[in-house]
């Protein structure tokens, strides 16, 4: 059997990187995409050391030509696209609404919302034609709950959840599944930037039911499952991996 072909955006750090490693360990063929070419090539080499076929391809997800090219190059190189993980994203700036800047809105929505939409456009074209595929978008606990001083980020991730459900409806009859994973706080550079200091991070984590941050691999394992045939009747869902946060 052909090993599945996986494309991951924003794959060079954090959850994206952990997801690339997890798929490589499954023996999948992995395309890691991002904006820092040297780090991207190093990650692809690391994946090949695990025995996976792997390649780095440059793409800023806000740039339609670049994301289109990555999807087209993937198909040219590997003949198909089985799983896509739309992971690239930014936390933007923490801002009370009374201090909101249009620039924060524009840059956050460009990466999180436009980036997800553009990636879906080209991934779905390939998968609808194939009559098979699984796409996993990255939402957040802020995709279905409000957070003070994070209305821009929360708005962008609520948008990702609406986009995910709509895309699932466009893909379902053709066998293309679209789901989102909604992580709680995960130990990545983004969490450090979002909380700003060790004290603030400890205070934030103390409010979480699990009283700890999740590990990037704890998100990656759910993404691997959603990408697999074990999840073949699962589409249009937002899967919370948040140590109990959304049960409150
Ligand atoms: N860490 C958390 O606590 C947490 C919680 C919920 C959701 N998430 C989501 O998980 C995803 C991954 O975040 P992470 O925690 O690994 O943080 P991270 O900052 O380590 O990873 C985000 C990656 O996306 C890349 N990226 C940003 N904008 C991009 C663009 N325009 N084009 C291409 N790449 C771009 C960044 O360079 C980075 O490598 C994000 O969508 C984030 O919103 C993270």
d(C-alpha 20, C-alpha 30), whole Å: 7
Nearest protein Cα to ligand 1, atom 43 = 89
Q: What is the pLDDT of residue 2?
A: 82
Measured in whole angstroms, the distance separating CA 11 from the mean position of its chain's CA atoms is: 9
Please report the atom of ligand 1 found closest to the CA of residue 194.
Answer: 3
Q: What is the pLDDT of residue 1?
A: 55
pLDDT in tens, the chain (248 residues): 589 999 999 999 999 999 999 999 999 999 999 999 999 999 999 999 999 999 999 999 999 999 999 999 999 999 999 999 999 999 999 999 999 999 999 999 999 999 999 999 999 999 999 999 999 999 999 999 999 999 999 999 999 999 999 999 999 999 999 999 999 999 999 999 999 999 999 999 999 999 999 999 999 999 999 999 999 999 999 999 999 999 99
Per-domain residue ranges of the chain: 5-247
Active site residues: 153
User: What class does CATH assign to 5-247?
Assistant: alpha beta
How far, CA to CA in Å, does 138 sit from each of 16, 56, 98, 147, 240? 10, 20, 28, 17, 10
Count helices and strands (H / E) in the chain. 9, 7
With b for 16 or more beta-carbon neighbours within 10 A and e for fewer, the 146-168 pattern comes to eeeebbbbbbbbbbbbebbeebb
**pLDDT per residue as tens digits for the range 59-99:** 999 999 999 999 999 999 999 999 999 999 999 999 999 99
Percentages (nearest 5) of helix, strand, coil residues in the chain: 55, 15, 30
Spacing, Cα 129 to ligand 1 middle (Å): 29
Please report the atom of ligand 1 found closest to the CA of residue 183.
Answer: 6
Q: What is the pLDDT of residue 83?
A: 99
Within 6 Å (CB) of ligand 1, which residues are found? Answer: 9-10, 12-16, 34-35, 60-62, 87-90, 111, 115, 138, 140, 183, 185-186, 188-191
């Amino acid at each position: 059997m052909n090993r599945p072909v996986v494309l991951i955006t924003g794959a060079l750090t954090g959850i994206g990187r952990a997801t690339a490693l997890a798929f490589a360990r499954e023996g999948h063929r992995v395309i890691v995409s991002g904006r820092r070419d040297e780090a991207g090539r190093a990650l692809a080499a690391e994946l090949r050391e695990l025995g996976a076929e792997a390649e780095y391809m440059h793409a800023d997800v806000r740039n339609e030509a670049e994301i289109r090219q990555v999807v087209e190059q993937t198909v040219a190189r590997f003949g198909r696209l089985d799983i896509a993980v739309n992971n690239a994203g930014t936390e933007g700036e923490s801002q009370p609404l009374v201090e909101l800047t249009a620039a924060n809105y524009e840059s956050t929505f460009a990466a999180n919302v436009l980036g997800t939409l553009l990636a879906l456009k080209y991934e779905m074209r390939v998968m609808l034609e194939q009559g098979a595929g699984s796409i996993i978008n990255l939402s957040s606990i802020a995709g279905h709950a409000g957070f003070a001083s994070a209305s821009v980020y929360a708005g962008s991730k609520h948008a990702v959840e609406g986009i995910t459900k709509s895309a699932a409806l466009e893909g379902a009859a053709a066998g293309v599944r679209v789901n989102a994973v909604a992580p709680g706080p995960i130990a990545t550079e983004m969490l450090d930037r979002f909380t700003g200091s060790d004290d603030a991070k400890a205070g934030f984590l103390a409010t979480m039911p699990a009283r700890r941050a999740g590990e990037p691999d704890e998100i990656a394992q759910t993404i691997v499952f959603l990408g697999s045939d074990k999840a073949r009747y699962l589409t249009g869902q937002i899967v919370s991996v948040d140590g109990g946060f959304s049960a409150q």
